[in-house]
Chains A and B, each alone.
Chain A
Amino acid sequence: KAGVTQTPRYLIKTRGQQVTLSCSPISGHRSVSWYQQTPGQGLQFLFEYFSETQRNKGNFPGRFSGRQFSNSRSEMNVSTLELGDSALYLCASSLGQTNEKLFFGSGTQLSVL
């Protein structure tokens, strides 16, 4: 079974631009969660989608948004990029039950110049 796939692997953007990251979950998984990883703040939860609906949300500004499609693939979008948005963005999938194990992708490394 293929693992969680994130594209692209690396991205370089400039301040003020927007960016879209993609995540394909493990086949059969219906929940997709997104995390931001930075050296200073560590791993922080962005949001979780289940059956195309946002089920849980972390404490990030509205510039960070996401969506999930009927095939469970998910995208996250960051608008008006800031230097501080430079991070590794990790996607994780699960079947969607409470307290389930999450399986992570390799991440998208975003650099904002």
Chain B
Amino acid sequence: GEDVEQSLFLSVREGDSSVINCTYTDSSSTYLYWYKQEPGAGLQLLTYIFSNMDMKQDQRLTVLLNKKDKHLSLRIADTQTGDSAIYFCAESDPALIFGKGTTLSVSS
């Protein structure tokens, strides 16, 4: 079956770049998504990428897609303490299938 894998934790210092990685299995997914969840809150859509794209940039966020390796990454430039949260990647099948989430901890 479909499975989305992410590393569980990432710790960075304020001002550094963060890179969160994800692998997925369903090559037929049209879109791939990144969601953010802060404590006690629901999921906030951060960005998404169409499967025929290699890269998408949106302000501090850069998404890279390697379709051959089924690898997706989210880079956050100039990471701030307010970026501390859990980040989920998801593929559509058509329901969203989520990874277990990467907890990003930003220290000042």
Contacts and interface: CB of A to CB of B under 8 A. Distances in A.
A3 to B, nearest CB: 9
A99 B31 contact: yes
Interface string A32-47: 0101000000110100
Nearest to B33: A101
A43 B100 CA distance: 7
A48 interface: yes
Interface residues of B, number: 21
Given A101-B48, A104-B42, A43 B94 contact: no
A58 B96 CA distance: 11
Interface size class of A (residues with CB under 8 A): 20 to 34
Contact of B94 (A98, A104, A105): A98
A48 B92 CA distance: 13
Contacts of B88: 43
A45 B97 CA distance: 7
A107 B95 contact: no
Interface string A72-113: 000000000000000000101000001101111111000000
Contact of B43 (A45, A58, A99, A104): A104
A17 interface: no
B25 interface: no
Given A104-B43, A107-B41, 7 more contacts: A6-B42, A42-B101, A45-B96, A56-B94, A99-B92, A102-B96, A107-B42
Interface of B: 30-31, 33, 35, 40-45, 48, 88, 92, 94-101
Interface of A: 4, 6, 33, 35, 42-43, 45, 48, 56, 58, 90, 92, 98-99, 101-107
